[in-house]
Amino acid sequence: MIIVIQCTDRVGLVAAISGLLAQKQFNITSMHEHVDNNANLFFMRLEVDKTDNAEGLEEDLCQILPNGAIVKINPLPEKKIIVLVTKEYHCLADILVRNYFKTLGASVQCVIGNHDTLQDICRRFDVPFYHLPATGDKELFEQKLLNTIGKYEYDYLVLAKFMRILSHQFVSRFPMQIINIHHSFLPAFAGASPYRQAYERGVKLIGATAHYVTDELDEGPIIAQQIIPANHSLAVSDMVKAGKEIETAVLAKALKLVFDDRVFVYKNKTVVLE
């Protein structure tokens, strides 16, 4: 069982929390904490070795924590996700393979694409695929998207190279539930054609960023980032190939962190307890 806590910091929090859990016969098998001194905020993630006797635990913890504390108890760590795609396969393929071998930490409910390019690979992995062409009215497209999403239970929407900008009205329905992989080291080279932008600037690093989606394009809280060296000898095609590899790795890392309840969001940034 996983317990995550976010609250105002004060002396004795770790002792109080661990003491209460010991009193209730919960054995702590993993514990990570962080204090943001500037914001006076305390973050903690714990794993305990049993799931019974958890009734009332959230309320008991809130009673010993500062007012306004956020406590979440997750006895079933596996999440449910819906994946949105366009044409590029690399991130989706990695997710489908991990899902097939039960190493994703989540189950893929379905895949939705605004092109049908990736329908066959989903069929091969026995994952439902919905083709929703994004032609014409954007509001109508997003309504169809909502209708399809509404057929399933889910915890997160994963944009695995989904090359459509979602409206404020759509995004606002899913606060900190949409995860995107961006093909650059944000905030550099946001928007379209990042590798061409990088090539034209003669960059010495190529990066990828996984982040939560908010109203501001490519400005949501960052979950994970990674960079690799680049030099003048690389053509745009070389950068694209390397970029796809790093995008796949960064998205996989971000999803694992989120699915393991290791990411806390505040002030448009994250604390990641690894």
**Pairing verdict, β 222-229 and 156-159:** unpaired
Domain range for 251 is 79-272
Q: Which of 27-36, 70-79, 222-231, 234-243 is predicted most confidently?
A: 27-36
Domain harbouring 217, CATH code: 3.40.50.170
Does one domain contain both 175 and 199?
Answer: yes
Could you tell me if 231 and 158 lie in one domain?
A: yes
User: In whole angstroms, what is the distance from residue 214 CA to residue 50 CA?
Assistant: 36
Counted residue by residue, the chain has a size of 274
Q: Which of 74, 94, 128 is the last residue of a domain?
A: 74
One-letter amino acid of 194? P
Q: Of 35, 53, 74, which one is at a domain's C-terminal end?
A: 74
Write the DSSP string, 33-77.
Answer: EEEETTTTEEEEEEEES--TT-TTHHHHHHHHSPTT-EEEEES--
For residues 42-59, average pLDDT: 89
Total number of domains constituting the chain? 2
What is the 3-class SS of 191-252, one letter each residue? CCCHHHHHHHHCCCEEEEEEEECCCCCCCCCEEEEEEEECCCCCCHHHHHHHHHHHHHHHHH
Is the same domain home to 220 and 132? yes
- Give yes or no: residues 24 and 111 share one domain: no
Tokens of 173: 């329905």
Contact 107, 81 (CB under 8 A): yes
Same domain, 83 and 53: no
What integer pLDDT is reported at residue 189 of this predicted model? Answer: 63
The per-residue pLDDT for range 76-129, each reduced to its tens digit, is: 668 999 999 999 999 999 999 999 999 999 999 999 999 999 999 999 999 999
Please identify which of the residues 218, 238, 260, 261 carries the catalytic annotation.
218
CATH of the domain at 14: 3.30.70.260
Report the alpha-carbon distance of residue 241 to residue 198 in Å, rounded: 14
Distance of alpha carbon 212 from alpha carbon 156, whole angstroms: 10
pLDDT at residue 241 in the model: 87
Residue 49 catalytic?
Answer: no
Residues 50 and 83 in one domain: no
210 and 91 share one domain? yes
Are 101 and 86 in the same domain?
yes
Indicate the pTM of the whole model: 0.91
Same domain, 181 and 218: yes
User: Is 251 exposed, middle or buried, given 0-12, 13-18 or 19+ CB atoms closer than 10 A?
Assistant: buried
Last-in-domain residue among 18, 53, 74? 74
